[in-house]
Amino acid sequence: MAPISKSKRRGKNGVVSRYDFDEAACKKLKVLNFDSYSEKWLDFILKCRTGNDTTDYDIVIGGVANDKVFNTVELYFDHLIDKEELISKERE
């Protein structure tokens, strides 16, 4: 049986968005690409999370920064884990 989504549990309808993406168009855009979870990726996430991102990228490609990541980032901000442990948790 498929898991029930948060929206469904709250009695709301979910939304599915689908996009067609022309990768060739990236040549005309300013793209930041993270090949893996790394300290560079983490530093970018931390800047965004604290409102200190001053970059002007059109697209950022890389590891997902979802609620799980933000929970782990909070542990980092609270000095309960270091950068190395945060990155290793995201690779799991």
Crossing angle (nearest 10°) for helices 83-91 and 67-77: 160
Q: Summarize the confidence of residues 24-46 as an average pLDDT.
A: 87
Phi-psi region of 62 (alpha: psi -120 to 50; beta: other; left: phi over 0): left
pLDDT of residue 57: 92
pLDDT of residue 27: 84
The token pair at 24 is: 């060739």
What's the pLDDT tens digit per position in 22-31? 888 778 899 9
Task: Look at 11 and 24; give whichever has higher pLDDT.
Answer: 24
**Residue 2 predicted with pLDDT over 90:** no
Amino acid, single-letter form, for residue 61? I
CA nearest to 63, candidates 43, 82, 80, 81: 43
